[in-house]
Amino acid sequence: MTAFVLNEIRKGFYLDSVALMRLSREIAALPGVREAALMMATPANKAILRDAGLLESGDVEAHGNDLVVAMRADDEPTARAALGQALLALDGRKTQSGAHDAWTPRSIAAAVSAAADANLALISVPGEFAAAEARKALRHGLHVMMFSDNVSIEDELSLKQEARERGLLLMGPDCGTAIIGDAPLAFANKIKRGPVGIIGASGTGTQEVSCLLSEAGSGVSHAIGVGGRDLKKEVGGITTLMAIDALDADEATERVVLISKPPHPDVARTVLARIAKSSKPYTVCFIGLEQVEVPANATFAPTLKDAAKAVLGGLRIGSGFDASAIAARHGVPAGRGARIEGLFAGGTLCAEAQVFLKNAGRRVSSNAPVPGVAVLENAQPGQGDRILDLGADEYTRGRPHPMIDPSIRDDALRTALENTDIAVILLDLIIGYGAHSDPAGHLAEVIAGRRPDAPLIIGSVTGTEADPQIRSRQVRTLEEAGVLVAPSNAQACEVALKVLATVKGEVDAHA
Amino acid sequence: MCAEENRELKPLLANRVKVINVGLEGFVGELRACGIEVTHVDWRPPAGGDPKMAALLAKLGV
């Protein structure tokens, strides 16, 4: 059936990307509307609209400070009615926006004049403009956290060099999580304060470790995000090295955990040599590497849970949890294959799951593989475990991250539930500031009414009791929906492996 | 590669964080709920929405 595409441009009208994505979803849900997108007309967004076939003539006369409303509907009257609703909603949003402040500065310079003692800029503008704003912030003497992604590595390097010259910390870009003192910045959790400093090149890795520490009774002094590329050769670990200096000098920090995907070997050497000079103990977690030679004052942890465990002393993660007992109570339904399908919102949780499965001798492929795991395209379809990072660019282009919009997982989850090759679905829920208000409730709706012989669903909730979503409530919702919930992502993997070992044992016994 | 000595970091960790928020407005409410002072910038794309021009102006300090 043919569809009708309709575009409208609002010149000089700006709303932030999360507000626009929410509106896009509301409009797309109207009857007869097949797709709707409200986006600022930046070059990247215009390409997304073009690729999605949402532009009337293949292009649109609009610039980065103009808003495009684009939709595809069953017919013209439906499209026009939906457009009317979209414009009405935009006007409503604009009226609300800024209503909480009598006067709102329009630039960093004006904001600094109004708040002379401000010390940090949190930047989450579209990637094309983020470097320019970060540069302005540095020149006003502000430390910077760049939440924005799609910043070139050349810009990242020059910004970090400038920050270093000015004695300022540049966290990011693509820095999802940081905690400075009692300030949770962007996607962070409400963590107890304590003696452990975290340096994280990974947002969800930092969230998992900080939550495990907090829930086990310890706490975090500061969590400094450095951005996923900081330990690449091109950037040379500039922010990581500055963060080590900062935490070494910080009286509230007694020990430090460093979390990253495997760094460039030269950068790893530089960072480990700097750690060797520290008077504080370090735990190094380069997730995906099995062993790393670390200095005498450091220990190596191959997984996030090991990293948390290393600094917890006698405290236990998920006290009383027994993976074997749980696995013994929950077998895989008869007639199922033995594959694991991992559907992860957190990139580092996805990496951690791969490490567990790979080390258990399983054949694993992923769209974001750790060393030793096959790239998804090269894997034989239907063979081995498939562990997906649903927050990767190919899933989130023009869409919010699955932590904000868990529906990205829905289709893959429904497909996996029907796939008889799959024995276990492994997944994560990440709560906290910035995240969806009820990801467990959303998931429970999606899996409700699944067939009795559907794969087992095993997961974990990264979060704390003090988070707005309240971890125990999320866990209860999942358990009531029949999901096996472990205290950590690592323990969820452990349960999955034990369940499958039981299946293998039964198969062997019958052979 | 990063042979340069790091300059001493201007105080951040020992001080209370005071934030200037540039971008997603949702962060403002969450930070204020945690008792953090936030000044929100009513940001819109500078330089007529031209990223290259915006980058150039920022480098020039405009």
Q: Which ipTM value was assigned to this complex?
A: 0.90
A278 and A370 fall within a common domain: no
Q: Given this model, what pLDDT does residue A491 score?
A: 97
Q: Is B25 on the interface with A (CB under 8 A)?
A: yes
Cβ distance A17 to B39 less than 8 Å, yes or no, reads: no
A464 and A335 fall within a common domain: yes
Considering only CB atoms, which chain A residues are within 8 Å of B9?
Answer: 167-169, 242, 245-246, 249
User: Chain-centre distance of CA A173, in angstroms?
Assistant: 14
From CA A43, how far away is CA A66, in angstroms rounded? 11
Q: Is B15 on the interface with A (CB under 8 A)?
A: yes
Along the 511 residues of chain A, how does pLDDT read in single tens digits? Answer: 689 999 999 998 988 888 898 899 899 999 999 999 999 998 888 998 998 899 988 888 898 889 999 999 999 999 999 999 999 999 887 666 555 556 889 999 999 999 999 999 999 998 889 999 999 999 999 999 999 988 999 999 999 999 999 999 999 999 999 999 999 999 999 999 999 999 999 899 999 999 999 999 999 999 999 999 999 999 999 999 999 999 999 999 999 999 999 999 999 999 999 999 999 999 999 999 988 999 999 999 999 999 999 999 878 898 889 999 998 888 888 888 899 999 999 999 999 999 999 999 999 999 999 999 999 886 666 679 999 999 988 888 777 889 988 988 999 999 999 999 999 999 999 999 989 999 999 999 999 989 989 999 999 999 999 999 999 999 999 999 999 999 999 999 999 999 998 765 544 443 3
A159 and A260 fall within a common domain: no
Question: Which of B26, B30, B51 lies closest to A129 in CB terms?
Answer: B51
Are the CB atoms for A210 and A185 separated by under 8 Å? no
Q: Which residue(s) pair with A178 in the sheet? A: A185
Q: Given this model, what pLDDT does residue B55 score?
A: 86
A217 and A295 fall within a common domain: yes
Q: Given this model, what pLDDT does residue A510 score?
A: 39
Listed residues A96, A114, A145: the one ending a domain: A96
Cβ distance A169 to B12 less than 8 Å, yes or no, reads: yes
Tokens (6 digits) for A14: 């700006």
Q: Which amino acid, residue A406?
A: P
Q: Is B23 on the interface with A (CB under 8 A)?
A: yes
A397 and A251 fall within a common domain: no
Cβ distance A108 to B22 less than 8 Å, yes or no, reads: yes
For chain A, the domain total comes to 4
Among residues of chain B, what percentage have pLDDT more than 70? 87
Q: Is B12 on the interface with A (CB under 8 A)?
A: yes
Listed residues A96, A124, A140: the one ending a domain: A96
Tokens (6 digits) for A71: 């939709």
A389 and A274 fall within a common domain: no
From CA A186, how far away is CA A498, in angstroms rounded? 36
Q: Is B17 on the interface with A (CB under 8 A)?
A: yes
Considering only CB atoms, which chain A residues are within 8 Å of B37?
Answer: 115, 118
Task: Please identify which residue in the block is written with the tokens 């198969």.
Answer: A507
- Per DSSP, A409 falls in state G
A298 and A187 fall within a common domain: yes
Are the CB atoms for A175 and A145 separated by under 8 Å? yes
Cβ distance B25 to A16 less than 8 Å, yes or no, reads: yes
Q: Which helix (H) or strand (E) holds A289?
A: none
From CA A201, how far away is CA A497, in angstroms rounded? 28
Residue of A nearest to B19 (CA): A120
DSSP 3-state assignment of A186? strand
Q: Is A238 on the interface with B (CB under 8 A)?
A: yes
| Beta strands across the sheet bearing A4-10 | A4-10, A67-73, A33-40
Are the CB atoms for A103 and B11 separated by under 8 Å? no
Helix-strand-coil split of chain B, %, nearest 5: 30, 15, 50
Q: Given this model, what pLDDT does residue A58 score?
A: 80
Q: Given this model, what pLDDT does residue A334 score?
A: 80
Calculate mean pLDDT across residues B11-31.
Answer: 93
Q: Given this model, what pLDDT does residue A503 score?
A: 66
Residue of B nearest to A155 (CA): B55
Confidence of residue B61 (pLDDT cuts 50, 70, 90): confident
Question: Nearest 5°: phi and psi at A504?
Answer: -60, -40
Tokens (6 digits) for A217: 């009774």
From CA A167, how far away is CA A141, in angstroms rounded? 9
A489 and A426 fall within a common domain: yes
Cβ distance A42 to B34 less than 8 Å, yes or no, reads: no
Which residues constitute the domain of residue A127?
105-174
From CA B9, how far away is CA B16, in angstroms rounded? 15
Are the CB atoms for A189 and A214 separated by under 8 Å? yes
Sign of CA pseudo-dihedral B6, B7, B12, B18: negative
Considering only CB atoms, which chain A residues are within 8 Å of B22?
Answer: 108, 111, 121-125, 133, 137
A71 and A133 fall within a common domain: no
Q: Which residue has the higher pLDDT, B59 or A493?
A: A493
Tokens (6 digits) for A483: 């999901």
A254 and A375 fall within a common domain: no
Are the CB atoms for A191 and A184 separated by under 8 Å? yes
Mutate to test the interface with B, among A20, A46, A61, A124 (most CBs of B within 10 A): A124
A331 and A406 fall within a common domain: yes
